[in-house]
Amino acid sequence: MGQVIQLPQLRRPTLDELVFAATVRCRCGAGMACQKGIGPQGKWSCSDVLLGNADTGDHDEYGFFSYEIKSEQDGATTRPR
């Protein structure tokens, strides 16, 4: 598959810095999320991984280029409450 480029991660994003998917969740049950302003090359990742609550591994990832996932809107969100 495509090349994975690891960017240095200085700190974890906070919940406020993430956009959550409206309905799509990772296989682990957490909502899918991406960082705000990530751009068209970004991807949806498991919010637990982004937030550092889970180790990377058995989680889902959906690149923007191949999946059209609606972000949270009109009260529909997978954001934890």
Site string for Zn ion, 16-35 (x = CB under 5 A): ----------x-x-x-----
Cα separation of 17 and 28, whole Å? 21
Q: Decide: is 51 part of the binding site for Zn ion (CB under 5 A).
A: no
Instruction: Return the residue of 44, 45, 59, 78 that touches Zn ion, per CB under 5 A.
Output: 59
Q: Give the DSSP letter string of 15-62.
A: GGGEEEEEEEE-TTSSEEEEETT--TT-EEEEHHHHTTSS-SSS--EE
- Report the nearest approach of Zn ion to the CB of residue 31 (Å): 9
Of 40 and 72, nearer to Zn ion (C-beta) is 72
